[in-house]
Amino acid sequence: MWPTSSDSYKRLSILFLKILLLFSVLIVGLSLRFDDLKVWQTRQNLWYLDPDRPLFTSYDAFFFARLARDYQEGLYAPRERDPYRGVPDNYLTDNITYPFPVPLMSFSAARLSDWLGMPLEKVALYYTPITAVLFVIPLFLYLETLGYTAAGLLGGLCGVTAFIYVIRTSIARFDTDSLNLFFPFAIAWALAMYFRSRRPLLWVGLASIFSFLFYWWYAHPHLIFVLMLIFGGVIFWEKRAFEKRDRIALAILLLPNLWYLWKAPLSLFKQIWGYVVAITSPGQTGIFRDYPNVLQSISELQQSKGLSQVAILTLQNKTLFILGLLGAFILLVRERKALAFLWPYFLIGLLVFRSGNRFAMYLAPFIGMGLGFVLHLGMDGLERLFKIEVSRSLKKLLVLLATLLLGLGVFSAQKNSRAYVAVPKVNAFVARNMEKLQEVIPQEAWIWSWWDYGYAFQYLSRRAVFIDGGSQGSPKTYYVALSFTSPSPEEARNITAFVAREGLVGIKKRLKEDLTARELTEAVKKGRLYRAPEHPVYWVFTQDLPPKYGWIGYFGTWDFETHRGRFGFIWDLNPCRREKARQVLSCRRGVRVDFKHRKVYLGPKTFLLSEIVFRSSEGIQSQKFSEKGLILEVISTSYGETFFLLDRRSFESNFNQMYLLRRYDPRYFELVLDDFPFLVAYRVKFE
């Protein structure tokens, strides 16, 4: 029966309003992600393999989808060799295996795909956006129990609308980021309730379950370990001892999770070293110290960012951002016991100023929490300043109204988030060619290509790769770059053969035999270590690679003495239009090629045009004007003309000759698939 008392009615009304606002935050988060579907439906020919198979919007999605597919097909064998990753080392060592257990995201998506009779790609379209907004619930409940309603609601709103989080949890993203806020906040809330509830062991049991699921989801034990350390620390700080109930609680928390927690200290060290120290080093460490550090090419990891840059990623109003950041710090200090479990993730969020953009997704909820806390302080201050006495229910109602108004301001500020449309990492033309490789190259073949599409080849081509998004930090990436940038097809064949035969195992062995990295590389290039590998190897070039050739060229020209390379230059000018009257080719980004005066204008800079190379079905022709300057390549395809601008060194590289011009040495390579510009594949001849 509906309550008749005024107080009960007010409490229920306020509770209803809180729930309504909470659901509004969830709906805002979902709408920001699913509004992309309107654009996707108009571009099905580019972004869908077929009507039920949208393409993924992250590189890692192909990895998790491939594990789900392997699980569905009965190929998944935990702790057994993963046949698709890191060849040939997965055959030479026991270190490259399927994860144990199968990642929760892959497992659950595979089950949903089977139950719903839906392709994995379509499951992924909805999976990430829906799971991404769930963190709002434990965060709100955590702060609501402390009386900070506005902080809970605005923390959730700022989190789900943060530009970086919208990017990293878009439709078809299929990435672990979607629950990487939910589990920490859920564990922190449950651990905090241990000190506030009449049934503390129930809450610590819930925290233990969330911890187990978090590791199954993300497999980063140190993120859980620090929360357990804080839990034990808070108990000891309060009591200077562990009572019986506390010991039982620690046992409930630790024992079910010991199977992975033992790895946490080393994992924590590696994360701190990798994201704070090592990313700015040009070379690697340890036995591979003379080889280039590929993390340099991941630009978002390199830049120390200021307040304005971080505000763009989190809350796109600098004033509100600074206010929220200060408010979050004061709130965490003021409620240091109750919110102790949030400190690790606040500090992770602050890493965005020093390291990768991704850390901003952890900071964004704290900015909203800080704004909510400032709102609470403001309401209390106004009450004291004007000496106004208001009822508790009216005060709560005013807080909710102020939260709504401030929330509208936050949403209005997130212009980039509202405008963002997720785009697949692989378009349909490239993806179909990847699938076609299953018909063109044998099942036992290995793919030699740049690392970004490594996971995609595993999923779509169902073929093994040398490097991918989880192994790009090894010297094998350097040797791929070296083979691409070398002007010698024979050197490229020799490099491919060495890596395919000996892998990292062979590289380590040779370096331990008192060879330097430079000496080993020279021996490999000259064929002194040449032995034909047992598996066939195929070079594969894809449409995404020309813009990445700058760094490919840098690593491929690495000087082992100076620890530097020289950036390659292959500039995709498309689309372009010809101005016949002025004899000018006008392209994107303001690039202009003046044929009459033989000059190239790149913004404010002017270069000589030294040569024009034409590639058509009739062959290759060229007009050379001088030795110095840039080279324009005009390549005719069934899709129309394409234009590329190169320097002389990049022009002579195997990459350009074999991919853009399709000019190769038949003694070492055989062209097996040519769908330029989308995908070009060669068989390496080891006879």
Query: What is the residue-averaged pLDDT of the chain?
Result: 93
CA distances from 506 to 189, 235, 364, 435, 669 (A): 49, 51, 45, 32, 24
What pLDDT is stored for residue 276 in this prediction?
Answer: 62
Name every residue whose Cβ is closer than 8 Å to that of residue 410 and which is 6 or more positions away in sequence: 154, 157, 158, 161, 315, 317, 320, 368, 371
DSSP state of 652: T
For the segment 261-279, the average pLDDT, to the nearest whole number, is: 76
What pLDDT is stored for residue 356 in this prediction?
Answer: 83
Predicted confidence band of residue 29 (pLDDT cuts 50, 70, 90): very high
Min mean pLDDT across 140-154, 347-361, 488-502 is at 347-361
Residue 561 in this model has a pLDDT that exceeds 50: yes
Q: What angle do CA 657, 658, 660 make, to 5 degrees?
A: 70
The dihedrals phi and psi of 103, each to the nearest 5 degrees, come to -50, 140
Under CATH, what is the fold of the domain 428-541? Answer: Pyruvate Kinase; Chain: A, domain 1 (3.40.1380)
pTM: predicted TM-score of the whole model, two decimal places: 0.93
For the segment 88-104, the average pLDDT, to the nearest whole number, is: 95
The model's pLDDT over 185-197, given as tens digits with 9 standing for 90+, comes to 999 999 999 999 9
| Portion of the chain with pLDDT greater than 70, in percent | 95
| Portion of the chain with pLDDT greater than 90, in percent | 83
Residue 301 in this model has a pLDDT that exceeds 60: no
Residue 629 in this model has a pLDDT that exceeds 80: yes
What pLDDT is stored for residue 604 in this prediction?
Answer: 87
What pLDDT is stored for residue 295 in this prediction?
Answer: 77
CA distances from 463 to 218, 447, 484 (A): 25, 7, 21
The dihedrals phi and psi of 551, each to the nearest 5 degrees, come to -75, -35
The model's pLDDT over 398-435, given as tens digits with 9 standing for 90+, comes to 899 999 999 999 999 999 999 999 999 999 999 999 99
What pLDDT is stored for residue 103 in this prediction?
Answer: 97
Min mean pLDDT across 72-76, 299-303, 318-322, 547-551 is at 299-303
What are the sequence ranges of the domains in the chain?
6-34+133-419, 428-541, 570-684
Q: Look at residues 476, 467, 574, 572 and name the one whose alpha carbon lies nearest to residue 524.
A: 476
What pLDDT is stored for residue 1 in this prediction?
Answer: 42
Predicted confidence band of residue 363 (pLDDT cuts 50, 70, 90): very high
Predicted confidence band of residue 512 (pLDDT cuts 50, 70, 90): very high
Predicted confidence band of residue 7 (pLDDT cuts 50, 70, 90): confident
What pLDDT is stored for residue 283 in this prediction?
Answer: 62
Predicted confidence band of residue 8 (pLDDT cuts 50, 70, 90): confident
Name every residue whose Cβ is closer than 8 Å to that of residue 532 and which is 6 or more positions away in sequence: 497, 501, 686, 687
The model's pLDDT over 644-679, given as tens digits with 9 standing for 90+, comes to 999 999 999 999 999 999 999 999 999 999 999 999
Exposed/middle/buried for 541, CB within 10 Å: 0-12, 13-18, 19+? Answer: buried
Q: Look at residues 262, 264, 252 and name the one whose alpha carbon lies nearest to residue 208.
A: 252
